[in-house]
Amino acid sequence: ALLPYVPRVPPTALPGKVTATTFALEMPCCVFDGHADASDAVWLVVAFANASDAFRNPPSRDDVPLYQRLPTAHSYMTLETAAAAYACPAPSTAVLRVGGDTACGGQGGRDPCNGPLPSPGPYRVKFLVMGCHGPKAETRWSDPILLRRAASPSTIDPAPARRDSAAVVVASILASLGAALAAAVLGAVGAEVWESLCRRDPGNGPFAHRSYRTHHIPLALPQPLPPGCRCSPPGLGCFAPRPPGPCPAK
Amino acid sequence: MARSDDGIRILQGLLVFGNVVIGMCGIALTAECIFFVSNPHGLYPLLEATGNDDIYAAAWIGIFVGFALLALSILGIVAVIKSNRTLLLVYIILMLITYAFEMASCITAATQRDFLTPNLFLKQMLERYNKSEAVNNNDKRMTEGVTKTWDKLMLQSQCCGVQGPTDWQDYTSAFRTTHSDADYPWPRNCCVMNAQGSPINLDGCKLGVPGYYNSNGCYDAISGPMNTHAWGVAWFGFAILCWTFFVLLGTMFYWSRVEY
């Protein structure tokens, strides 16, 4: 019997619902009521999306393709569960995780293995109810489920998107302050050196200073007049007296 | 002349005050840089593994510059009060050297901050976390540092990955080569732990059921302290340098006015 239920990945936002090797499915609660007895087993058929049309339900439990046959048969069946687990009322928030069992699958055993999926797919799944005499009911195939493909970390570019303008401002202001200080120091020290050089060099330019030696000039005291001199101004020498000359004619 | 005497006195007072402020800022700078260098958030291994820990070099320079500023400010106060030309000249030259070092530290801290992008830490986390083979001893030490830091970070800050747990799904990693995707879609420390240190619901954690795993990325917990560190060194140093610029200009003017 073909049931109208379509298995699907839960719509809730769970970051782990599809990973690189596993995916999660909503639990098919209350789907098989009336089509399956409590003793029947519900299997999950997982097939590559392009091989799902070619899948034929196995006639008995012994013909069930197991996990190890996935590479060759392009499909397998897993998650064998008693139909009673999906009966109403059931925990509706639970999910089924396909590929979550890493401990199985290596030994080639007969038990159904829920091992990690080897490739990203895409895969299609459906539920199949197997009774003692073969398949009894099945759901529709799901939409293709594509697993995650991880990129290599070498594709990550760690370079910053753009230079922060504050850093440029800080750097430029500091550089200009430093340059101004250096210029000021050089200028001040240079001016001092220039001035001290000019002070040592005599006779050149308007800043030269001549050094003077002061002479002590002795005062000239008035000499006593020799006798016979009269009324002559000092320093002019001395004249002997002469009789007055004839008076000029009137 | 009384007026220029007054002017010189005022300038002396200003310079002494300026040097007191420089001395106190020097102590504060040293304290701040010692705090950063002591790696209080335990994030230094991440920075070291990026191969570019210049903001730590800037903090180290800041420690010594702070001491130098304190010593030089005392010298400056003595020189200004004694009006000794030689001491003032020594003070100016030494201050210039300290200025140059602090400029270098400031510019380094300001420009290196841009370098710390989320992609940088993402790439480093994917390539180094739980890496099993090491090229040499140095590589091994850095890998162990990164792994321990991430483990501690994810537990303490309740976060996973750089931008979220999907980082572990979007990219292959060194972690992925040793831990299968089905068992470990993301590292165990991304799961919410109970008091004994084990996940409260491992299946819920693997699926990403809210409440059983850490959904935030760790980038805020990493970049927050590192930005504080870089900006603390850069801006405080910038402020000190602006103040010191004016004090130095005043000291040079004072030096040119002092008679022999």
User: Could you tell me if A100 lies within 8 Å of chain B, comparing CB atoms?
Assistant: yes
CA distance A230 to chain B (A): 60
Whether pLDDT at B129 is above 50: yes
Question: Between residues A91 and A118, which one has the greater pLDDT?
Answer: A118
Domain A2-149, CATH among 1.10.10, 2.60.40, 3.40.50, 3.10.450: 2.60.40
Tokens, residue B137: 């001893």
Domain count, chain B: 2
Whether pLDDT at B246 is above 90: yes
- The listed range with the strongest mean pLDDT (A148-157, B28-37, B111-120) is B28-37
User: Could you tell me if A103 lies within 8 Å of chain B, comparing CB atoms?
Assistant: no
DSSP single-letter state for residue A74 = S
CB environment A163-187: b (16+ within 10 A), e (fewer): eeeebeebbeebeebbeebeebbee
Task: Find the domain containing B178 and state its range.
Answer: 118-130+138-217
Whether B255 sits inside 8 A of A102 (CB atoms) is no
Whether pLDDT at B260 is above 80: no
Q: Are residues B106 and B235 in the same domain?
A: yes
Facing residue for B172 by CB, picked from A102, A150, A158: A150
Whether B169 sits inside 8 A of A101 (CB atoms) is no
Residue A240's pLDDT band (cuts 50, 70, 90): low
Residue appearing with tokens 């840089």: B33
Q: Which chain A residues contact residue B245 at CB under 8 A? A: 177, 180-181
Q: Are residues B102 and B180 in the same domain?
A: no
Whether B208 sits inside 8 A of A16 (CB atoms) is yes
Q: Which of residues 32-91 of A touch B (CB under 8 A)?
A: none
Residue B23's pLDDT band (cuts 50, 70, 90): very high
Whether A188 sits inside 8 A of B93 (CB atoms) is no
Residue type, A33: D
Q: What's the pLDDT tens digit per position in B51-80? A: 888 888 899 999 999 999 999 999 999 999
Q: Are residues B20 and B42 in the same domain?
A: yes
Tokens, residue B131: 């890496």
Measured CA to CA, the distance from residue A148 to residue B178 in angstroms comes to 19
CA distance B117 to chain A (A): 6
Whether pLDDT at A205 is above 50: no
Cβ-count burial of A86 within 10 angstroms (0-12 exposed, 13-18 middle, 19+ buried)?
Answer: buried
Q: Are residues B36 and B93 in the same domain?
A: yes
Q: Are residues B205 and B247 in the same domain?
A: no
Cβ-count burial of A227 within 10 angstroms (0-12 exposed, 13-18 middle, 19+ buried)?
Answer: exposed
Cβ-count burial of A152 within 10 angstroms (0-12 exposed, 13-18 middle, 19+ buried)?
Answer: exposed
User: Could you tell me if A184 lies within 8 Å of chain B, comparing CB atoms?
Assistant: yes
Q: Which of residues 69-128 of B touch A (CB under 8 A)?
A: 89, 92-93, 96, 99-100, 103, 106-107, 110-111, 113-115, 117, 119-120, 122-123, 126-127
> What residue ranges do the domains of chain A occupy?
2-149
Q: Are residues B33 and B89 in the same domain?
A: yes
Residue range A161-182: average pLDDT? Answer: 84
Q: Are residues B7 and B111 in the same domain?
A: yes
Q: What's the pLDDT tens digit per position in B204-233? A: 899 888 889 999 999 999 999 988 888 888
Interface probe with A: pick from B128, B207, B219, most Cβ of A within 10 Å: B207
Residues A140 and A6 sit within 8 Å (Cβ to Cβ): yes
User: Could you tell me if A186 lies within 8 Å of chain B, comparing CB atoms?
Assistant: no
First to last CA, chain A: 186
Q: Are residues B110 and B234 in the same domain?
A: yes
The per-residue pLDDT for A105 is 61
Q: Are residues B105 and B230 in the same domain?
A: yes
Q: What's the pLDDT tens digit per position in A1-40? A: 888 889 889 888 888 889 999 999 988 888 888 887 878 8
Q: Are residues B112 and B125 in the same domain?
A: no
Whether A158 sits inside 8 A of B111 (CB atoms) is no
Q: Are residues B197 and B233 in the same domain?
A: no
Q: Are residues B126 and B234 in the same domain?
A: no
Whether pLDDT at A250 is above 50: no
- Among the residue ranges A27-31, A94-98, A160-164, the one predicted with the least confidence is A160-164
Residues A189 and B85 sit within 8 Å (Cβ to Cβ): no
Residue range B38-58: average pLDDT? Answer: 87
User: Could you tell me if A14 lies within 8 Å of chain B, comparing CB atoms?
Assistant: yes
Percent of chain B with pLDDT over 90: 57
Percent of chain A with pLDDT over 90: 5
